[in-house]
Every structure is written in structure tokens, then in C-alpha cells.
Amino acid sequence: MSEVLKVKDLCKTYIINKRQNNVLRNVNFSVSQGEMLGVMGPSGSGKSTLLYSVSGMDSFTAGEVEFQGRSIAKMSKRELAALRLDGMGFIFQQMYMLKNLSILDNVILPACQSRKRRESRKEVVSRGEALMRKLGIIEIGDNDINEVSGGQLQRACICRSMMNHPDIIFADEPTGALNRASSEEVMEELAKLNGEGTTIMLVTHDVKVAAKCTRILYMDDGNIAGEKVMGKYTTQKELRERERAVSGWLMELGW
Ligand SMILES: Nc1ncnc2c1ncn2[C@@H]1O[C@H](COP(=O)(O)OP(=O)(O)O)[C@@H](O)[C@H]1O
Ligand SMILES: [Mg+2]
């Protein structure tokens, strides 16, 4: 399996009032194509910082991040911006939809900004609509973002993240703002995309979400303190068993 992401001795330090805060301390891991990697750990352990550092959204202090074999630290700002737009998809707890655009226009925005593909607006709209149909939200395309439920909005964010056929999707607590039912729906969609081959790295506090991942990393105080390899699940029964196993594993780690 080919590696999408390789992270070597990654360090990130914040200096506030002359005091050093080592938020990431020599983190090493990689993500292979087709994986769904979960990142768990206590609040403040560095999960978001890790996600933003490896995706080129934030800088890091030392170490290396290779995206498909290319060092992101060596890329120019422009190259990195193009990589984020065309090679990566992003989903956040806060969703970050533009409120002066319809849902459909928000979904297709990444494709409108991409310089890589030459598509007519009609083609872009038809791809956006196909994604929205697939995620079961085709009826909200013309709505404003304040006219839909949280679950619908997050599914629209998933569509947006898929718009430029990313090599990996990064998600930071994508279900963190949703109720249990919407959270299940959103996770179901992410698991389905992963089943179809999309590589995903996601931060979550939710054991049910983590149980759907193929592998979980446990962050503690800026380090990877544990790793659980699970692979793909096939039945609901297996999923329930995995939820119990993940809970037990987290307890052992002091969660
Ligand atoms: N912009 C920032 N400036 C200074 N410190 C930060 C900044 N962002 C995060 N931190 C610190 O980094 C640590 C890890 O934060 P974060 O990655 O958000 O943790 P998590 O996502 O696991 O809750 C925390 O101690 C936090 O206070
Ligand atoms: Mg966080």
C-alpha cells in the first residue's frame, strides 16, 4: 500500500511569555492510502495541532512531513496552497461555510478555485449536485446555510471536501457539534467514502466514531502514547465488539 503521508520526528513549540510549550514532541507515524486513521487523546494533548501541522495549515518547529513523498516544508506558499486545494479535503467541527452563498455554491467553491481542472460551471455544478445526491442532501442545494440542520450542513461540508477528488481528507472532530443521530449519519457517510477508497485522518472524542476507523493513534502530552490497528469492519456485530474493545483500550491508556 502506498504512503500518502509520512511524518518524522515532528515537533511544534509555542513560546508564550518566554515560556516554552512543547505541543508536539517527536511525533512519528504514516498514513497509507485507503486508511481511516483516528486520532484520540485528552483535550490539549495536541491532536488539532498535529492535524494542522501535517496538512500544511500550520507551520512546525522541527521534523519532516512528506505528502506523497514530497516534503511540505520545502514547498513554497503557493505550492502548498495548491496542494491543500487539490490534494486535501478539510472538515471541521465549526464547518466554516460562507453565509452569503447557497449550500450548493459552498459545496462547489473548491472546484471554482482550482487551477488544475478546466471545467465549465455547468460541469462543476453537476458534480456538486451528484455529491449532494449521494450524501442525501440534494434538496437543500438552494438553501442558505442557516436554513438547514447541523447534520445536513456537515454532510454538505463532506461534499465540499470531496469536490476536488482529494488524496486525503482531514477532519477535526467532525461530529463534535452534532447530536447522536446526526453524528451517526455523518460518520456513516465518512465510513462509506473510506470504503470506496478515500483516505481519511480524523480527530475524535467519540468511541463510536473511533470504532469505525481502521487504526487509532492515542495522543498524550504531544506524543503518540498508543496505537490500535483494527482494519476494516464488515458486520454491525463486529462494530459493536470493536466499540467495546476501543473503550477498554482507552481505559488502559488512562482516558
Ligand atoms: N495558537 C496557539 N498558541 C499557543 N498555544 C497553542 C496554540 N494552539 C494550541 N496551543 C496549545 O497547544 C496545546 C495543544 O492544543 P490542541 O492541539 O488544540 O489540543 P487538542 O486538539 O488535543 O485539544 C495546548 O496546550 C494549547 O494550549
Ligand atoms: Mg482540538
Q: What tens digit of pLDDT does each residue of 119-130 get?
A: 899 999 999 999
Look at ligand 1, atom 5, and give the residue with the nearest C-alpha: 14
Measure 22 CA to ligand 1 centroid, in angstroms.
Answer: 10
Pick the atom of ligand 1 nearest to 203's CA.
21
Angle between helices 103-113 and 121-134 (to 10 degrees): 130
DSSP secondary structure of 90-104: EEETT----TTS-HH
Q: What tens digit of pLDDT does each residue of 192-229 get?
A: 999 999 999 999 999 999 999 999 999 999 999 999 99
Look at ligand 1, atom 12, and give the residue with the nearest C-alpha: 23
Q: How many domains does the chain have?
A: 1
**With contact defined as beta carbons under 8 Å apart, do 11 and 60 qualify?**
yes
Q: Residue 172 CA: which ligand is closest?
A: 2
- The residue among 87, 59, 52 whose CA lies nearest residue 73 is 59
Residue with cell string 476501543:
246
Q: Which residue has the higher pLDDT, 192 or 116?
A: 192
Contact residues of ligand 1, CB 6 A cut-off: 14, 16, 21, 23, 41, 43-49
Residue 116: pLDDT band with limits 50, 70, 90? confident
Residues with CB under 5 A from ligand 2 (ion): 48
Global pTM reads 0.95
**CA-to-CA distance for 96 and 92, rounded, in angstroms?**
7
Query: What is the CATH number for 141?
Result: 3.40.50.300
Average model confidence (pLDDT) for the chain? 95
The answer to whether residue 6 scores a pLDDT higher than 90 is yes
- Rounded average pLDDT over 235-245: 97
Contacts of 16 (CB under 8 A, 6+ apart): none
Q: What tens digit of pLDDT does each residue of 133-150 get?
A: 999 999 999 999 999 999
Residue 4: pLDDT band with limits 50, 70, 90? very high
**With contact defined as beta carbons under 8 Å apart, do 250 and 218 qualify?**
yes
The answer to whether residue 1 scores a pLDDT higher than 80 is no
Look at ligand 1, atom 8, and give the residue with the nearest C-alpha: 49
**CA-to-CA distance for 30 and 37, rounded, in angstroms?**
10
Pocket test for ligand 1, best of 14, 25, 39, 60 (most atoms within 8 A of CB): 14
Centroid of chain to Cα 192: 14
State which residues form the domain around 114.
3-252
